[in-house]
Every structure is written in structure tokens, then in C-alpha cells.
Structure 1
Amino acid sequence: MISALVVRFKSPQPRKREDSENYYLCIDEKHERQRLGSLDSEATVDLSIVVPAYNEEERLPVLLNDIRDYVNRRREGDSGFSYELIIMDDGSKDKTSDVAMEFARMHGIRELKAVKHVINRGKGGAVTQGMLCAQGRYLIFCDADGATRFSDIDALLEKAKESERNGLAIAIGSRNNQALSDTVVERSHIRAFLQWGFHTYVTILGVRGVRDTQCGFKLFSREAARRVFPKMHVERFIFDIEILLLARYQGIPVVEVPVNWHEVAGSKMSIVRDSIQMALDLLAVRLNYMLGNWSASDNQ
């Protein structure tokens, strides 16, 4: 009875895109507003960087500077390196999109694309929509707060290429493996306790083998992204778990990589309310796959 209620009332129902959400803004002089691409097409750049952002006008510039520094260093050793930076403004009420576009104009970054959602979807929905239009051979999403050092992407790329099978690979940043490396993780005791409790709950529900499911720094080969994101249902915080479930069901290699991470003030998450919401959402996700309501093999 409880399971039926959870599935009925807690199963996510992603909405279709509004017409305006099929376009992005950039600083192209001739066509500032352009139509988004598709994950189904062939890759046109080396790397796609997807940034979900909701009311991030204050924190976003830190990440944008970090990415710009990384790209400049990368191009010093590889002048042909190409990328796109997709800012998914998830219905912000502040000037998130304006800040992104002003940064692009200030630094001449034609690779920056700003997409504005009419209505807030949630972090998972913003990531999924960004991935579905990405053009990279490899694709990464990262949090707008700049909590993870972006240059750690090199370690994710290295491990993804090492573990890749038949074009399939996922490398995820981890805040739990710092003892194995020289990475640094700084977080509050309450956040550490909640992460431990959440990991325990995830393990009980059968999602095993990954110590840190929630770090917002995950990289995909293009084929892996094609196998995962068209099938996504979850649009809020628990979407990382569905990614890992879909990867497991389809035999996609997943490797955890230690990353440098520090807690940043200004989180949109309510510790009590969202923790309860995440627990219920996770139960709904697990039940839907167990009962066959959702399938990793169907095109959805």
C-alpha cells in the first residue's frame, strides 16, 4: 500500500520544453539567439561543460573564471582544444543569465551558451536538458557554486579513458576518497553526517559500489550520455542516483575519482525538508525500476 502511494504521488513527471527553451543566447554578432543542438548528432567539440544555475548571479563568476583559466591552460598545450560552456538558467529570479552573458562579452567567450528555462525544473532537470543539447565528445556537469576545482576534470578524463569500453565511460568526482590522494575536502560536520546517513540509505535500497553519489562533478563519454540522459525522469536533487542506476543496468563503467572540494555558502538546499524529499524520491525511483514502470532499455 505504501509502495503504491509512493509510486503514484512521488514519481516525477518531467514537463516538455517550452518553445523558447529550444534556443540559447551567445555573443555571436550575426545570430545572438540560436537553436540548440542535439545529443543524437555527431560531436563537434572536444568537451561540453553543462552548468545548472538557479539564482546564481553572485556565485557563478567564480566558476566561470575557474573554467576560463582551465581552458587557457589547456590551449597552451593543445591549441586545437575545443569546448562549449552551457549555462542552464533554471528559471532564476535574479540576473544569472545576464551575468553569464556579460562575462562572455567581457572576455570574448563565444563558446558560452545561455539557456533560460521558463519555469524552474530543479537541478536534475537543468542538467538533463543541458546534456540533451550538448555537442562534446566528452560531457561534464558541474555545480555553479565553484565548490569543486575545475582543473580536476583532467583526472576524470584520464580515468574515464582508462575504463572506457565500447565508447562507454562515466567518471564521477568523489569527496570520500581524499585519503587515497592529495586532494582536499572541506565541509561542515552536519554535512558530513548527512552524507553518511544518505549513503547508508542509498546502500539499503540497493545502490551499491559508489561512495559519493551526490558530488556535482560528473563526466560522460558521448555514448554513455546518449544511453543515460534520454531516459532520465528525476529533475530534482536525487537525479544523480537515477544516473547511476541507469549506468548499472546498462553495464556502463563508472569510476570514482578524488576531487578537491570545499563547502560554499549560499546553498539552495533545505537540510530537513529536502532530505525528506530526497528520501521519498529515491524510494519512488527504486520502486519504479523494480516494478518495471521505467526501463533502462526503452527509448523514453
Structure 2
Amino acid sequence: MSASPPPGTAPSLGEGVEPYLSVVLPVYDEGQVLERNLGRLVAFLDEQGFGGAGPKERSGGGTGFEIVAVDDGSRDDSRAILDAFAAADPRLVVLGFEQNRGKGAAVREGMLATRGHLAVFMDADLSTPLEEFGPLVAALESGHDAVLGNRRSPGSRIERHQPWLRETLGKGFTLLTQLLLVPGVHDFTCGFKGFRRDAARAVFSRSTLDRWAFDAELVVIISEQGLRLAQVPVRWKHEDDTKVRVVSAATRALFDLLRVRVRRMRGLYR
């Protein structure tokens, strides 16, 4: 399968030019949707004015955007699709692991490689619609250091729910994380989060978890670093995913939460 970027010649940022916005995509066996969604993402960012100089440049430094895709040891044709797309559009940067390490590892690898004034990570299946970029970016531009997409706050809307077991375990994980670690955060695991550059460096250079609980660790680090945090309501829809074994992932997440609590007590996130 070959990649098909939007028509036209994609502008190169040029050597030494920093983008205004970086978008990180963790990718694991997304071949069925990846080509279509990459095209949609690039077209959307161009339409929203991130594709070149203008207001976005004046508001914080940098110009244009980059997409940093991290292939997490995919077994399908995801890496071939990414490489073909990157050959046609230099704004796509492709990183990857030989073996699957987990979403947390892929997000961390991508976020630490970003060059943008703002950096956002999101799921390659676009379970959070692209239209939700606006409020998240606006919250970062208004001065918040980190912004979390929130599926459980007033104004949010879940258009398609997860299977009952997965949603129930997710709610239990959120409640336990609130009790053990960070009260006041209503949605830890939404895969749509944004950071200002310095905040991204501070948070992801301290993160350690590679699997399901990595989001909770990020929020703990944000808190320990004293960063300005916002939560924005988002629309979201569940996309079928057979790659996660929910019960074993949830069990591992409980142990990871205890690890985070111990690391926090030892001051390792400061």
C-alpha cells in the first residue's frame, strides 16, 4: 500500500527552522486506517493555518507544523505506509522500535523528539476528532503548560462507548488514581494531551511507564513540577481495538500506580 498525501507540494520547514506545532502519533498495527488518517491530519492542519507563517508564528515562535510518528514495533504494513508518506511530505518524521514496547514508550520517544513550540499527542485512529484541536491549542496559547482532553466533564460527548468491561475498568482506574495520586483530574487515559515545549521536556524526561498507566504518571509529574494544568471537554468515540488485553492490562496498571506512588514519595518526579 502506498501513501497518498494531499495534492500539491508539501512545504519543507527548512534546516534549523522550528515548527510552531508538533503532533505525535503512537502507531501500532494501524495499517487499515493510517494512510487515510495521515492525509486527513495534514489537510486539517493546513486548513487551520498551521501549515505556514502567519498568526500562529506571531503568537509564540516557530512556523508550520511537524508530525512525529512512532511505530511501536508494528507487525502489519504501518511502517511502510509511514515511510512512503514521509518520503512525499518532509513534515512527517518517522521513528520506531523493532519490538513493541507500549504506547507510553512510543509517546515519550515522540514527545522528546519534537521541536515545536506546542506539542500534542493523539491516537492514530482519530478517536478524538480533529476538530477538538482548537480548544486544546487555545488553552495552551492562553498560558497553560499542559492540557488534558477530558471525556467526563460538562460539554464532553462520547459518541460511541467502549465495551462494558473496558469502560468499567477505566472508571475504576480513574477513581483509584484520584484516591492514590491526583484528586481533581477526571480523565487520565484520554489519548489527547498537549504541552508547551518546556513543560513537555520536564514531564517526559521524568516519565518511566511504558504501558496503560503512563497517562496517570504524566499527570503526577505535571503536579509535582507545579505546571499550570487545564482540562478541556472533548468529543470522543471508541474505535475497535483488539490489540489490548484489557484484564491483564488493568492488573499491570494497578502495580504501576503503586510504583508511581513510591517514586513520588521518593521525590523522583521533582
TM range (shorter): 0.7 to 0.9
For 1:111, the equivalent position in structure 2 comes to 91
Question: How many Å separate the matches in 2 of 1:193 and 1:182?
Answer: 18
Please tell me whether residue 138 in structure 1 is matched to residue 111 in structure 2: no
Aligned residues: 248
Deviation at 1:163, TM superposition (A): 4.1
- Contact kept, 8 Å, 1:142 with 1:218, in 2: the verdict is yes
Please tell me whether residue 100 in structure 1 is matched to residue 82 in structure 2: yes
Question: How many Å separate the matches in 1 of 2:247 and 2:133?
Answer: 32
Please tell me whether residue 239 in structure 1 is matched to residue 214 in structure 2: yes
Task: Check 1:43–1:77 CA distance in 2 against 1; reply closer, same or farther (3 A cut).
Answer: closer
For 2:67, the equivalent position in structure 1 comes to 85
Question: How many Å separate the matches in 2 of 1:216 and 1:230?
Answer: 19
Task: Check 1:82–1:218 CA distance in 2 against 1; reply closer, same or farther (3 A cut).
Answer: same
Question: How many Å separate the matches in 2 of 1:234 and 1:123?
Answer: 9
Question: How many Å separate the matches in 2 of 1:74 and 1:99?
Answer: 25
For 1:280, the equivalent position in structure 2 comes to 255
Select 1:121's aligned residue among 101, 106, 110: 101
Q: Where does the alignment leave 5 or more consecutive residues of structure 1 unmatched?
A: 1-26, 28-36
Question: How many Å separate the matches in 2 of 1:77 and 1:112?
Answer: 13
Deviation at 1:184, TM superposition (A): 4.4
Deviation at 1:182, TM superposition (A): 6.5
Please tell me whether residue 60 in structure 1 is matched to residue 34 in structure 2: yes
CA deviation string 1:215-250 (max 9, x = no partner): 000000001112111111111111111111111011
Helix, strand or coil: the match of 2:139?
Answer: helix
Task: Check 1:109–1:91 CA distance in 2 against 1; reply closer, same or farther (3 A cut).
Answer: same
For 2:198, the equivalent position in structure 1 comes to 223
For 2:45, the equivalent position in structure 1 comes to 71
Question: How many Å separate the matches in 2 of 1:121 and 1:242?
Answer: 17
Relative contact order higher in (CA < 8 Å, ≥ 6 apart): 1
Deviation at 1:103, TM superposition (A): 3.5
Task: Check 1:223–1:43 CA distance in 2 against 1; reply closer, same or farther (3 A cut).
Answer: farther
Please tell me whether residue 295 in structure 1 is matched to residue 265 in structure 2: no
Equivalent residues in 2 for 1:26-41, closer than 5 Å: none
Equivalent residues in 2 for 1:130-169, closer than 5 Å: 130-164=110-144, 169=145
CA deviation string 1:34-63 (max 9, x = no partner): xxx9xxxx9811011111111221132343
**Segments of 4+ moved more than 4 angstroms:** 76-81
Question: How many Å separate the matches in 2 of 1:281 and 1:82?
Answer: 37
Helix, strand or coil: the match of 1:49?
Answer: strand
Select 1:253's aligned residue among 191, 206, 228: 228
CA deviation string 1:179-214 (max 9, x = no partner): x32644421333332222111111221321110000
Task: Check 1:133–1:159 CA distance in 2 against 1; reply closer, same or farther (3 A cut).
Answer: same
Question: How many Å separate the matches in 2 of 1:212 and 1:170?
Answer: 14
Deviation at 1:99, TM superposition (A): 1.2
Question: How many Å separate the matches in 2 of 1:43 and 1:227?
Answer: 22
TM-score, length basis structure 2: 0.84
- The share of aligned pairs that are identical, in percent, is 31
For 2:9, the equivalent position in structure 1 comes to none
TM-score, length basis structure 1: 0.76
Deviation at 1:72, TM superposition (A): 2.5
Select 2:150's aligned residue among 174, 187, 212: 174
- After TM superposition, the structure 1 stretch with the greater mean CA deviation from structure 2, 150-159 or 219-228, is 150-159
> Partner amino acid for 1:133?
A
Task: Check 1:242–1:43 CA distance in 2 against 1; reply closer, same or farther (3 A cut).
Answer: farther
Deviation at 1:77, TM superposition (A): 9.3
Task: Check 1:249–1:241 CA distance in 2 against 1; reply closer, same or farther (3 A cut).
Answer: same
Q: Where does the alignment leave 5 or more consecutive residues of structure 2 unmatched?
A: 6-14, 55-62
